[in-house]
Amino acid sequence: MANPEHQEVLDSFDKVSVCLYRGGISLFSVSLLYLAVILSGIDESLLSHYPIALLLIAVSAAFSAGNVHVYSKFVRAAISWSAWIGILLMLSDSGFERIWLSLGFIFVTFSGIALKESFCFKVMGLKLVPMILALSVFLLWINQTQIASFFVGLSGLIIGYLSIAKWRMPLHFDIGNKANYQV
């Protein structure tokens, strides 16, 4: 776990990495809210925006998974590889028949990020995100999109709260102590 009292000297790569990670979290929040509106069925014309929402979710996963700062290489790999598998599944599902599966892998990534952040920085509601995202995937699998839209939106709000809290923190909070990372 990162020690916020430790202030590591960050180089340019570290700063870009932290900003991409935080940008991925922010984009994921907005993307979930966008997807929730689309899934709700409030406006039928928004169904054509479904691929755009999925693309934004995939980009947010790539940003965050590619730049996640976790000391344990096993945990870091599990978080990252879930995103890459989800993105590949999404790209191979042009008809959106199994989108619940690709979202499930991406949601594993952001569940890991939510748990990581909840242990490090005590942001309210983050420990609920993995359960809410898992419920969302289940509801999408059984084709209950309107109910899923509520939980997707709720996750988006909680992750949005995390995003705001993250951008208020100094960048070195995300890196922690570089000497503690397993390579």
Least confident of 9-13, 19-23, 53-57: 9-13
pLDDT confidence tier of residue 91, bands split at 50, 70 and 90: very high
- pTM, entire model: 0.92
pLDDT more than 90, % of the chain: 69
Residue in the structure block whose two tokens are 């191979």: 92
Under DSSP, is residue 43 helix (H, G, I), strand (E, B) or coil? coil
The DSSP output letter for 1 is: -
Q: pLDDT value at position 8?
A: 72
- Residue 124 near residue 98 (C-beta atoms within 8 A): no
d(CA 85, CA 106): 8
Separation of alpha carbons 8 and 152, rounded Å: 36
Note the pLDDT tens digit of each residue in 30-83. Answer: 999 999 999 998 888 788 889 999 999 999 999 999 999 888 899 999 999 999
> CA-based angle 27:33:38, to the nearest 5?
120
For the ranges 41-45, 93-97, 131-135, the lowest mean pLDDT is seen at 41-45
Whole-number Cα distances in Å, 142 to 52, 54, 146: 23, 19, 11
Domain ranges of the chain: 12-177
State the average pLDDT for the chain: 91
